[in-house]
Structure 1
Amino acid sequence: MADPVLVGDIGGTNVRFAIARRGFAGHCTVSDVSVMPGDGFDKFDDALNTYCDHIGKTCPERALIALAGPVDEGHVKLTNRDWIVDEKRLEANTGLKRVRLVNDYAAMARAIPELPESDFRLLQAGDPDESEREPILVSGPGTGVGMATLIPVGTTNWRVLTGEGGHAAFAPFNDRERALAVKLEESHGYVSRELVLSGSGLNAVHKALCDIDGVEWEELPPAEIMKRAGQGDRICRDICEIRARGTLYALGDAALMNGTKGGVVVTGGVAERLADWLAAPEALERFNNRGPMSDYMHPIPIRLLLSGEAALVGAAALHFDEGTAG
C-alpha cells in the first residue's frame, strides 16, 4: 500500500489539513482532519507547521496542498487572502521532503469520482448517456468562485483542466440584475461573476441593492440575510435569487462552451446555503434555456456537492495519480 500523504485545502476563509491514504479498493480516505480559520495565521507556513506539530512523528514526508489561486511554477498568491505560498520555501521551513501545490479546484474536481452519491444533492436528473464517459464541470461560489473541468482519460482515469472562470464578466439577465451591474461598476469598475455570486462580494451586492432602492445599508451576516429572505424582505430575497440564478446561468454558459455532458457539480459554502434557491424551477431554467441549444442542456445532470472534505480527498487522488508516494 502507498505511503500516506499530508493534504491541504486552503481557501479564502479556512485552512483544512488531513492525512490521506489509498485504500485497498483504490479510493482515497482521509483522517486526522483539522479545520482552522486562516485569520489565525500571519502566513501559510505557520498554519502548516502548526498541523505538522500536532501530528508529530507520524506526519508524512510528502504533502500536496490545494490553494485558492493560480499556480505558477510552484508559487501561489492566494486570490482572497494576502498569502504567498512557495513549494521550496515550505520544504525548507517545515521539514517535509516534498511539497506540491495545485489549484484548489483541481483537487475539488478530482474528488468527484471518489465520493459516494450520499455526498451530493440532485438538482436536475438530466438524461446522461451512461455508455459514454463525458467531461464534468465542477464550479460554484464559496469565498470566491472556482472552476475546473474533469476530463475522462481511457476507461478509468481522469485529467483536470483548471481555469479562472469565476473572474469572467457577470452577465445580467433582467432589469434588476442590469441595475445591480451598473451600480457595482460605479464602485468596482470591472464586475466579475465572483463579485456578484461569492461570499467575498456579499456586502458589495447588498449595499448596491440598498442604494438602488434608496434604503439605508446595514451590514448583515449571511445567516441573517437568509432569514430575512425567508420572511419576505425584498432586498434579501433578491440577493438569494440573484446569486442562485446567476450561479446556474454562469454554469450553463460554461457547460455549453466546454461540452460537459457528463454533468455539472455545484460546489462551495455559498451554494450549500442556497440549496433550495438553486433547486427552484426559475434557477434551473437559467441553466437550461439556451434558445436553439436548449435540448443540448436538458440531459445534463446537475448535482450539489455537500462534502466539506471533498478537496482533501481530491488532493489525495491527485497525489496518488502522479505516483509520487513512496
Structure 2
Amino acid sequence: MTETTEIVAADIGGTHARFAIAEVAGGRVLRLGPEATVRAADHASLQIAWQSWAATLGRPLPRAAAIALATPISGDVLKMTNNPWIIRPALIPEKLGVDRYVLVNDFEAVAHAVAQLDPAGADSGFRHLCGPDAALPDTGVITILGPGTGMGVAQLHRIGGSYHVIATEGGHIDFAPLDSIEDAILAHLRRRHVRVSAERIVSGPGLAAIHEVLAAIEGRAILAGDDKALWTAALAGSDSLAAAALDRFCLALGSFAGDIALAQGAAAVVIAGGVGARIADHLPASGFAERFRAKGRFHALMDRMPVKLVSHPQPGLYGAAAAFAQRNPQ
C-alpha cells in the first residue's frame, strides 16, 4: 500500500509568499489544502514568514517541505531575484524544522503542476488561449512561461508516460523590439539599464515602462499612482493610455512566448504567472495570438501549436508539492 505523506508546500515569489499543507503519495499530489498568502515585504526572512504562518494553524507543521523560489536553485546561498530574502539551503532543516525538503525554481514548480494536473478533471486547470483547441500533448516539449514580478520560464518534456522538468532563466534573454514603438521602449530602458532583458518589459513592472514611453509619444502626463493603480486602470479600460500600454504589453508577451517556444522546440505553450492570471480575460482579444504566430517562415508551425492559460488558482504551490512527490514516490 502506498504511504501518504503530509508536507508543507511554499511558493516564494518576488512580492508574495504562499503556504499550504499538501498530501502526496505514489509520485502524485493527492490534496492541496487552503493557502495562506503574506507579503514578502512584511517579513525579514523566510523563517520569520514561515513561523508567522505556522502560528495561525494551531497544529504542528509536517516535517517535510517543498519550497518553490523565484531564483535559480544553485550554490550555497540563494539570493532572490526580486525579493531581499536570502536562503541558505544547508540551514533549512534547522531554520524551518524539517527533516526532508525539496527546493525548486518557481517556474520549475509550475511545470510540475502542468505535468500533474488532470486535463480531464472537472477543473482541468487550463484555459484555451489560441491555436488548436486540443489537449496538451502526452509526448514532446511544453514551454511554460509567465509574467509576475519577473518573467518565469521552464521546459516540460513528456516522454514514455513520465516527464522531466528543466528550470531556465529564459526571461533574462535580450528584449527584441519589432516596431518603432518597441524601439522607443528599448531606448527608454537602455538609459536605466546596461542591458535590457525581456523581463524588463513583459513582467508586472514592465507596464509602467511601456506607459512612460507612450505618454512621451502622446505628450501626456504619466498616470498618477503606483504600479497597482496603473494595472487597475489598464484592465478596467478607464484610462486610454493605460489601456494602450496593456495592449502593447500583450503584443510583446506574444512575441516573447513564440520566441521561447521556437527555442525550446515546443509542441505547446502554457502561460502562467500572477500577471498572466490577471490578464486572462484580456489576452484572447489582444494581439497576443498574432504576435505569437508571426515567426516568418515558421508561421504555419506556430499556428498548429496549442497555447493554454493556467487556471488552477495556486499552480506554484501545487507544483512544489508535485516536485516533492516525483522525487519521493514511495
If the length of structure 1 is used for normalisation, what is the TM-score?
A: 0.90
Are the counterparts in 1 of residues 171 and 197 from structure 2 also a CA contact under 8 Å? yes
Within 2, Cα distance between the matches of 1:202 and 1:46?
Answer: 32
Q: What is the CA distance between 1:202 and its match in structure 2?
A: 3.3
Q: What is the CA distance between 1:231 and its match in structure 2?
A: 4.3
Q: What is the CA distance between 1:197 and its match in structure 2?
A: 1.4
Q: Is 1:205 aligned with 2:207?
A: no
Q: Is 1:318 aligned with 2:323?
A: yes
Are the counterparts in 2 of residues 28 and 316 from structure 1 also a CA contact under 8 Å? no
Matches of residues 70-81 of structure 1 in structure 2 within 5 Å? 70-73=72-75, 75-81=77-83
Aligned pair partner of 2:12 in 7, 10, 18: 10
Task: Kindly provide the CA deviation profile for residues 212-239 of structure 1, in whole angstroms up to 9, marking residues without a partner as x.
Answer: 4332223344455453565474421221
Are the counterparts in 2 of residues 128 and 300 from structure 1 also a CA contact under 8 Å? no
Structure 2, unaligned runs of 5 or more: none
Task: Kindly provide the CA deviation profile for residues 159-192 of structure 1, in whole angstroms up to 9, marking residues without a partner as x.
Answer: 1111111111111121111111111111223221
In structure 1, what is the equivalent of residue 132 of structure 2?
126
Q: Is 1:215 aligned with 2:220?
A: yes
Q: What is the CA distance between 1:130 and its match in structure 2?
A: 8.0
Aligned pair partner of 2:44 in 33, 42, 45: 42
What is the identity, as a one-letter code, of the residue corresponding to 1:190? R
What is the identity, as a one-letter code, of the residue corresponding to 1:2? T
Matches of residues 245-284 of structure 1 in structure 2 within 5 Å? 245-261=251-267, 263-280=268-285, 282-284=287-289
Within 2, Cα distance between the matches of 1:187 and 1:131?
Answer: 42
Within 2, Cα distance between the matches of 1:162 and 1:316?
Answer: 16
Within 1, Cα distance between the matches of 2:64 and 2:135?
Answer: 39
C-alpha distance 26-182 of structure 1, shift in aligned 2 (>3 A): closer
Are the counterparts in 1 of residues 25 and 325 from structure 2 also a CA contact under 8 Å? no
C-alpha distance 200-35 of structure 1, shift in aligned 2 (>3 A): same
Aligned pair partner of 2:163 in 158, 162, 165: 158
Q: Is 1:285 aligned with 2:287?
A: no
Aligned pair partner of 1:186 in 184, 191, 196: 191
C-alpha distance 53-228 of structure 1, shift in aligned 2 (>3 A): closer
In structure 2, what is the equivalent of residue 99 of structure 1?
101
Q: What is the CA distance between 1:135 and its match in structure 2?
A: 1.1
Q: What is the CA distance between 1:42 and its match in structure 2?
A: 0.8
- After superposition, the CA RMSD in angstroms is 2.5
C-alpha distance 129-212 of structure 1, shift in aligned 2 (>3 A): closer
Number of residue pairs the alignment of both structures matches: 323
C-alpha distance 129-82 of structure 1, shift in aligned 2 (>3 A): closer
C-alpha distance 207-282 of structure 1, shift in aligned 2 (>3 A): closer
Q: 1 or 2, which has the higher helix percentage?
A: 1
If the length of structure 2 is used for normalisation, what is the TM-score?
A: 0.89
Amino-acid identity (%): 31
Are the counterparts in 1 of residues 11 and 106 from structure 2 also a CA contact under 8 Å? yes
C-alpha distance 186-283 of structure 1, shift in aligned 2 (>3 A): same
C-alpha distance 255-207 of structure 1, shift in aligned 2 (>3 A): same
Aligned pair partner of 1:66 in 65, 68, 72: 68
Q: Which piece of structure 1 moves more, 48-57 or 115-124?
A: 48-57
Q: What is the CA distance between 1:316 and its match in structure 2?
A: 1.0
Q: Is 1:144 aligned with 2:150?
A: yes
Q: What is the CA distance between 1:129 and its match in structure 2?
A: 9.2
Equivalent position SS for 1:199: coil
Q: Which piece of structure 1 moves more, 231-240 or 42-51?
A: 231-240
Aligned pair partner of 1:90 in 92, 96, 119: 92
